Structure 1
Amino acid sequence: MGSQHKAVTQKALTGRRRSLLIGCNYLNTQNELHGCANDVRRMMPVLEKLGFASDGVSQKVLLDEQGWDGPKPTKANMLEALEWLVADAQAGDALLLHYSGHGGREPAEGGGYHETLVPLDFETAGMLPDTELFEKVVKRLPHGCRLTCILDSCHSAGALDLPYIFVGTEDQLQKAMAGEAVRMAMEVRWKSDFEKWAAGSSKELFSDVGSLGKNVWQMYQDGSATGFVTDAAQNEGLAMGEVVAISGCRSDQTSADVADVSSFGLAATTGSAGGALTSALVEALQRGQEVTYAELLEQMRQELAKKGFAQVPQFVSSLLVELKQPFRLDGIWVEEGEQ
């Protein structure tokens, strides 16, 4: 692959904005968590300040908490809400999904794992695997539409089957923050290579990394593929919607449920417990300062490391992202000369 790229900037979107927030505590089960519904309630005012209205037309909320009389995050309700989120999506729309709950892994045919989101009734209805989330959400987004996903769950880096992953070594982050053109890299076998990287071998990952341009989406032209094909040439020619996911950890890690989020500088008005990723993200965003993608990722990682959490938040994307560009929820990436 060549290394020459046009300059990439963000274009503000002016279409509708929709958000889906899911917080599952698994009340009165052996899988019970304590801060997931609180995470949703902490995110809502932050999103409202960023232009995502909290009315029933623009936002759906699924919660599992004491006293909640709205829809719960069962598998059927989650699928219905995801359908609502992407229904009739058009160029110019900005969509957002925030999920706080358990994440899982299921063995994949041929080896490896599928990452999953875990509905309230997963023991009877099953989990939501990455392949199904890709099929029902990512695949359906049109070119010019942006979906931001915040996944505060275990094993979440691969939960949407997206092809670009910013491994984010300290050196790469420093380069990005210094203004160098460090991009998310397309790695066509990133899942298996990433597992090897996590186990201590990086040669497979970095030998396969290649930067691709905007037109990387051919694999669904005939509707027969599931996920990204390994031949980059087959991924050219079809532009689809842009998806940026902030995940709580690597695919091989767990995300912490924090008993007291006051250490993150957050008020306990919605309860003291919360997810570590959501707490770090809310803390960073509510400062009201413009930050780049690289700076936001670095701030979250430093905050979690300082508090003793081993999890390493990730950026995963459907398209190339310039990490030196300002972080925003309502922008798409355009190359120089595009309208």
Structure 2
Amino acid sequence: METGKKRMAVLVGCNYPNTQNELHGCINDVLAMKEVLVKRFGFDASHVQLLTDAPGSVVLPTGANIKRALGHMIDQAEAGDVLFFHYSGHGTWIPSNKPGHAFRQDEAIVPCDFNLITDVDFRQLVNRLPKGASLTILSDSCHSGGLIDKEKEQIGPNATITANNTTVHSHNPKSIPFESILQHLTSLTNINTSDVGTHLLEFFGSDASLKYRLPPLEWDLFDSLKPDEGILLSGCQANETSADMSPNEGGGKAYGAFSNAVQMVLKQHSGQLSNKQLVTMAREVLQAQGFEQQHPCLYCSDQNAIATFLWQPEF
């Protein structure tokens, strides 16, 4: 199979400026990743779309805009293409409305307009991939483990790495509690209900998540393809938070802890790394930095676990 035919990326950084949910390192994360994609992994800068909520941004990272960018990238994909999505921003846990999952939580990312993009949306995107193309998702957000619905866990809650007692510097969790999501959406719709789907459908209509636009019985349409070409590198386990690091006293840049760990691993290892090696090493970096409650995870097929991260070509 021909590989490396096209390399396309969508990079999303949400800092939520001037809000109570403000973060500081997310835009820096994706700017750093764009540079690495171009210089190391052979991406053409014109094939890397950047969506941020920085002041003056023309296209904001709303739920509709993010899904539109991802859908456009997938629509252009052919066999052999390498697709990449890096998200740095808030994540959240939402009550599951899947049959038989009354007490389970599902995963979602929180775009700047709070139009949640859920695990079902990412499953549908992966299922749209043409045969022979791959989609790697790096989500530096809270509760990001399992963000591709039904993807196979390769490194997850059962993996262990010895921790130490290094002190962690000042940081904020990249998480918005479900109650805060509900409160914000209620302020937009003025509807008195705790059902998040009702709010999302009322305010965002056809741009709302598929999780709420489709009857649960139709979710079988989004069963995983075995094996599929979705690859998720999550900043933490589904029940954990990811850290947003504030600038240190020396005036350094703010950053997401997981995004920074990935950057450190890539700088320290100039050769090819498998997806599994990259996540394992990123875990080790975070543990050495004292992040004992943040464990990056890997969800993908067995074949993609040992495949090279972004199918790095030899230049």
Please confirm whether the aligned pair reaches a TM-score higher than 0.5, indicating the same fold: yes
More helix by share: 2
* Cross-structure match for 2:200: none
* Cross-structure match for 1:242: 229
Conserved? CA contact 2:146–2:238, under 8 Å: yes
> Aligned match of 1:134 in 77, 98, 123?
123
* Cross-structure match for 2:42: 51
- In 1, the alpha carbon distance for the partners of 2:311 and 2:249 equals 29
What does 1:251-262 align with in structure 2 at a 5 Å threshold?
Answer: 251-260=238-247
C-alpha deviation, 1:312, in angstroms: 0.2
* Cross-structure match for 1:177: none
> Aligned match of 2:26 in 36, 45, 67?
36
- In 1, the alpha carbon distance for the partners of 2:258 and 2:159 equals 22
Encode CA deviations 1:165-215: one digit per residue, 9 max, x unaligned.
1235897899xxxxxxxxxxxxxxxxxxxxxxxxxxxxxxxxxxxxxxxxx
SS of residue paired to 1:99: strand
C-alpha deviation, 1:65, in angstroms: 1.8
Q: Which runs of 5+ in 2 are unaligned?
A: 163-216
Give TM-score, length-normalised by structure 1.
0.67
Do structure 1's residue 328 and structure 2's residue 309 form an aligned pair? Answer: yes
* Cross-structure match for 2:219: 225
> When the two structures are aligned, how many residues end up with a matched partner?
251
Encode CA deviations 1:124-182: one digit per residue, 9 max, x unaligned.
xx3111112222x11101221111111000000111214211235897899xxxxxxxx
SS of residue paired to 1:134: helix
Name the aligned partner's letter for residue 280 of structure 1: A
C-alpha deviation, 1:241, in angstroms: 4.9
- Residues 161/261 of structure 1: CA separation in 2 closer, same or farther (3 Å cut): farther
- In 1, the alpha carbon distance for the partners of 2:138 and 2:248 equals 18
- Residues 113/170 of structure 1: CA separation in 2 closer, same or farther (3 Å cut): closer
Conserved? CA contact 1:147–1:241, under 8 Å: no
Conserved? CA contact 1:173–1:294, under 8 Å: no
- In 1, the alpha carbon distance for the partners of 2:5 and 2:42 equals 11
Conserved? CA contact 1:19–1:59, under 8 Å: yes
C-alpha deviation, 1:329, in angstroms: 0.4
What does 1:3-22 align with in structure 2 at a 5 Å threshold?
Answer: 13-22=3-12
SS of residue paired to 2:35: helix
What does 1:157-196 align with in structure 2 at a 5 Å threshold?
Answer: 157-167=145-155
Do structure 1's residue 121 and structure 2's residue 113 form an aligned pair? Answer: yes
Conserved? CA contact 2:278–2:309, under 8 Å: no
* Cross-structure match for 1:286: 267
* Cross-structure match for 2:198: none
- Residues 311/172 of structure 1: CA separation in 2 closer, same or farther (3 Å cut): closer
> Aligned match of 1:107 in 85, 95, 103?
95
- In 2, the alpha carbon distance for the partners of 1:93 and 1:261 equals 39
SS of residue paired to 1:19: strand
- Residues 294/93 of structure 1: CA separation in 2 closer, same or farther (3 Å cut): closer
SS of residue paired to 1:106: strand
> Aligned match of 1:146 in 134, 137, 141?
134
C-alpha deviation, 1:63, in angstroms: 0.5
C-alpha deviation, 1:70, in angstroms: 3.0
Report percent identity of matched pairs: 35
Name the aligned partner's letter for residue 136 of structure 2: T
RMSD: 2.8
C-alpha deviation, 1:69, in angstroms: 2.8
C-alpha deviation, 1:240, in angstroms: 7.0
> Aligned match of 1:69 in 41, 57, 71?
57
Encode CA deviations 1:48-104: one digit per residue, 9 max, x unaligned.
12111212xx121100123x4331111121121111121132211110000000001
Conserved? CA contact 1:142–1:240, under 8 Å: no
